[in-house]
Structure 1
Amino acid sequence: MIKPHFFTAILISITFSNFAYADPPSNIQANDLVALFEKLSGKHPGIRKAHATGVCASGRFEPNPQSTLFSASPLLSQGSLPVIARFSVGGGIPQADERNPGTRGMGVQIMLPDGARHMFTGNNFPVFAGKDPETFFGFLSTLLPDENGQRDPQKTLDYIRDNPSVQANAAWNKQAKTAYSYANTEFFGLHTFFYNNAGKAIKFRWQITPDLGVKTIDPQQAQQLPASFLSDRLAKQLADNEVSYTLRAVLGHEEDVINDPSVQWPEDRENVSLGRIVLQQSGDDSCTAINFDPNVLSQGFSASDDPVLRMRSAAYAISFGKRLSGQ
């Protein structure tokens, strides 16, 4: 298993230089990624292979009637809709130490009256660790121990140096702090989607911002907390306040990259509020049997030809099947 702070520690001294690029592996399939996750975190039967530690929540989606670009979609034109969400910590280790900085995730299912669903997933980092599944797989592979059980941080540093599409995510990890709460974390959809508005394709990316504001904890404060505190903190905030998020569509320009989630669009891009996700309760098992596949979209929406996004459907399905069958 990856030890706490291992990934953060290897990035402390990172310096990017112009070297010849190391070639990532080729022809990576979804089952290769799932098997790699199990090697990195160990096998935990019946548990999600990634984002293993998490908590369910439920509530409603309140669409923004002023969002004219998307107003014709069933997602925004049928009033308040039920939501099931799952918040999580990155990695495949159950009961991960939540005091550590790093990845936090959010999966959301919105149910439409006709039984259709709209899924979206997000992470608290704005760029993915690789332009395609092969680059991502190669990066994760550098974290595997050798035959003596030892990891080589230099191997990881060399891979990051030689593969530019990993560098922005590595830089984010270098400065990442511990999330104060899921209710105070911003989530980025990473991938590009389209909406068909009267025959015109609108290019956008999801972004979910907490209405209570973004808040993090410094390392000294984090160590004063229990190793598992995020679920309890979310429950307390729900009891004391309204916990909600604004769901936004960041609109792309013609020149903005479509198929590379390792590239962030410029910060000056217009964003449109599509509505609010309002949580009402947390801590039940409502999300346990849900596979949060970001390619499950409602009428009018379509996915880009992003190779990482395409791979997610297959990898999620394999992980979902293994989880439900106790593997």
Structure 2
Amino acid sequence: MPLSTDETVNKTAGDIVAQLQAVFGKHPGFRPAHAKGEILSGTFTPSAEAKKLSTAPHFANLATPIWARFSNSTGIPNIPDADPNANPRGIGIRFHLGAHKHTDIIAHSTPFFPTRTGEDFLAFFQAIAASPPGGPSPSPGGPSPSPVEHFLSSHPKALAFVQAPKPAPVSYGREQYFGVNAFKLVAADGKETYIRYRIVPDAGVEALDNDLLKDQDPDYLQKELSKRVAEGPIGFKILAQVAGDGDVTDDCTVHWREDRPVVELGSFILDALVKDYEKEVKYMILDPIPRIEGIEASADPILEMRAAVYLISGRERRAAP
């Protein structure tokens, strides 16, 4: 996983890492975003449709070992699971394809992303840092509108992300996750299909009632996940929403119509917690760009930026004592 060949991308990515740490605090050895989480191991089985759409190795194999990391939002390692800022929840799926060979899917529980570019994402968090804590309202004597209010008023997609419902799940295994970026599947005959991933739980989606949320243990999701997997495998399906003619594929803030076809690419089960979590999570650097045959990144500019952010923060994490 290399850094970008564009030094402007790398500079902005480094600034994003530093800004996230300025907002959430610097916690050596932890991610600057989605710091709190858990990794499970399991197996992915592709569908027949996946093999028609792409020559990717995990779609051709009968089964592929995987890891799935569930996480809370923010760079705060001990954020309570019931804290509203812990949403959206994240999932990172790693397909182990051989020695030092893998590909990943990264998704979160809100089908929105606040900005199209890394520069705007950086500006968003700079505005958050410059605004009073506790929300967008200015403090007495502070600027009105506050910097974050000003940013949101001029960036309607970011405002839509902030205002989107983000209910707390009863379980990581009862949450749906959305890949906000488009990818191009390439079939054996060269046919290209643009898709966005959706990760859907076999047990169904269920949110926690707000009246019950305030009484939850700070680690209720971690504890529930350990209990759930001890009782049996946790199942998910990997779906792909297929782009139609004219659909935008290079802007993660633009939604495709819900009547677009959705196909199943396969399913996976998670049946154990990964041992030595602290060691593995420090080493594991997820990559938003597929870097394998049969799946290609779209021209979405946030993909290269996200990859650089993950690599820079991952190198910092590995170097931490």
Q: Would you call these one fold, judging by a TM-score over 0.5?
A: yes
273-282 or 153-162, which deviates more: 153-162
Q: Which residue number corresponds to residue 3 of structure 1?
A: none
Runs of 4+ residues deviating >6 angstroms: 148-151
Per the alignment, do residues 113 and 149 of structure 1 end up closer, same or farther by CA in structure 2, a change over 3 Å counting?
closer
Contact kept in structure 2, 1:142 and 1:152, CA below 8 Å? no
- 1:126 is displaced (CA, Å) by 0.5
How far did residue 83 of structure 1 move? 0.4
Q: Which residue of 2 aligns with 1:200?
A: 191
State the number of aligned residues: 299
Alignment of 1:209-228 (within 5 A): 209-228=200-219
Structure 2 residue aligned with 1:89: 72
Q: Which amino acid aligns with 2:167?
A: K
Decide which of 307, 314, 327 is 2:308's aligned counterpart: 314
Match of 2:181 in 1: 191
RMSD after superposition: 2.1
Of 32, 41, 48, the residue aligned with 1:49 is: 32
Structure 2: distance between partners of 1:150 and 1:78 = 49
List alignment gaps of at least 5 residues for structure 2: 1-7, 138-144
Maintained 8 Å contact 2:290/2:297: no
In structure 2, which of residues 120, 133, 140 is the aligned counterpart of residue 135 of structure 1?
Answer: 120
Q: 1:289 aligns with which of 269, 283, 288?
A: 283
CA distance in 2, matches of 1:109, 1:167: 31
Distance 1:110 1:150, change over 3 A: closer
Percent of paired sites with the same residue: 29
CA–CA distance in structure 1, aligned partners of residues 223 and 230 of structure 2: 11
Per-residue CA distance 1:246-283 (angstroms, 9 max, x = gap): 00111101211111111111111111111112101125
Q: Return the structure number with greater helix share.
A: 2
TM-score normalised by length of structure 2? 0.87
* Equivalent runs, 1:297-312 vs 2, <5 Å: 297-312=291-306
SS in 2 for 1:213: coil
> Within 2, Cα distance between the matches of 1:89 and 1:267?
27
Give CA-to-partner distance per residue, 1:127-150, whole Å, 9 cap, x none.
10112112222222221146x989
Q: Is the 8 A contact 2:82 2:216 kept in 1?
A: yes
Q: 2:157 aligns with which of 154, 162, 165?
A: 165
Alpha-carbon distance, 1:187 to partner: 0.7
The one-letter code sitting in structure 1 at the alignment partner of 2:211 is Q
Asked if 1:32 is matched to 2:15, the reply is yes
Q: Indicate the residue corresponding to 1:70 in structure 2.
A: 53
**What corresponds to 1:233 in structure 2?**
224
Matched residue of 2:128: which SS? coil
The SS at the match of 1:292 is: coil
The AA in structure 1 aligned to 2:177 is F
- 1:145 and 1:151 map into 2 onto residues whose CA distance is 12
Superposition deviation, residue 241 in structure 1: 3.7
CA shift, 1:84, in A, is: 1.0
**2:255 alignment partner, one of 260, 264, 276:** 264
Check whether the contact 2:290–2:296 (CA below 8 A) recurs between aligned residues. Answer: no
Q: 1:110 is paired with a residue of what secondary structure?
A: strand
SS at match of 1:178: coil
The residue matched to 1:120 in structure 2 has which SS? Answer: strand
How much has 1:311 moved relative to structure 2?
0.1
1:325–1:278 Cα change, 3 Å:
same
Q: 1:31 to 1:66 in 2, by over 3 A?
A: closer
Q: What is the deviation of 1:171? A: 2.2
- Between the aligned partners of 1:151 and 1:170, the Cα distance in structure 2 is 11
Whether the 8 Å CA contact 2:39–2:68 is kept in 1: the answer is: yes
Evaluate the alpha carbon distance shift between residue 323 and residue 131 of structure 1 in structure 2; reply closer, same or farther with a 3 A threshold: same
- Cα deviation, 1:45-68, whole Å, max 9, x if unaligned, reads 111111111111111111112445
Find the aligned partners of 1:181 and 1:62 in 2 and give their Cα distance.
23
CA shift, 1:157, in A, is 2.6
For structure 1, the residue ranges without an aligned partner over 5 or more in a row are 1-25
Return the letter of the residue paired with 1:180.
V
Paired position in structure 2 for 1:12: none
* Contact kept? 1:130, 1:262, Cα under 8 Å: yes
The answer on whether the counterparts of 1:56 and 1:288 sit within 8 Å (CA) in structure 2 is: no
1:250 to 241, 260, 263: 241
